[in-house]
Amino acid sequence: MKITALSLSIAIALSPLASSAVELPQRPVLTAAVAEAITKAAIAECAKSETVVSVSVVNDQGRLVYFQRGDGTGANTIHTSFRKAYTSASLKIPTSVLNQAPEAEGYSQLGKMEDDILLLTGGLPIFHDGALIGAIGLSGAPDPNIEEGCGEVGIKQVMDAGE
């Protein structure tokens, strides 16, 4: 009986805390399964032009969620694809927009921000319902515009399928 009374007293004492709990905003999260699907769709698109790439997909904070190295790609494509994805997630824009930035007035220091910022075409942000959920970075194609095109297709195929 004493335990029940004590439990009731604790419950009553804590009830104001429960009713005034802060409600945190909900946000979409990029899962490994979605990142893998985007990667595979991008790789398949590049394969249509016989282009082999390595692909990194990061979350909205630039943390690696999924990576796949293309057969025969150079060792440099591992970190380069990550850096492109990281840059796009960090700055929330395609890296192709940034590759001329160091020459633009007021942006000369952008390429020196931190080690993982890379101002090369091939990184694209991934949005869901207007919120950044991650980014993709591709490396290994003879033309970075091919990388960007493959990334766009991968994102579109997967993200549009989920709507």
Query: Domain for residue 15, yes or no?
Result: no
Query: Domain for residue 7, yes or no?
Result: no
Query: Domain for residue 125, yes or no?
Result: yes
Query: Domain for residue 123, yes or no?
Result: yes
Q: What is the CATH number of the domain that holds 124?
A: 3.30.450.150
Residue range of the domain that includes 105: 27-161
Number of domains composing the chain: 1
3-state SS string for 139-158: ECCCCHHHHHHHHHHHHHHH
Query: Domain for residue 6, yes or no?
Result: no
The pTM is what? 0.82
**pLDDT, tens digit only, all 163 positions of the chain:** 556 655 556 555 555 555 568 998 888 999 999 999 999 999 999 999 999 999 999 999 999 999 999 999 999 999 999 999 999 999 999 999 887 666 666 665 665 667 888 889 999 999 999 999 999 999 999 999 999 999 999 999 999 986 6
- Which distant-in-sequence residues (6+ apart) come within 8 Å of 40 by Cβ? 68, 154
Closest by CA position to 123, among listed 159, 93, 163, 160: 93
Tokens coding 20 = 């005034």
Query: Angle formed by the axes of helices 32-47 and 144-161, to 10°?
Result: 130
Query: Domain for residue 1, yes or no?
Result: no
Query: Domain for residue 120, yes or no?
Result: yes
Query: Domain for residue 17, yes or no?
Result: no
* 3-class secondary structure, 84: helix
Consecutive H or E run containing 90: helix 76-91
Phi, psi of 93 (to 5 degrees): -145, 160
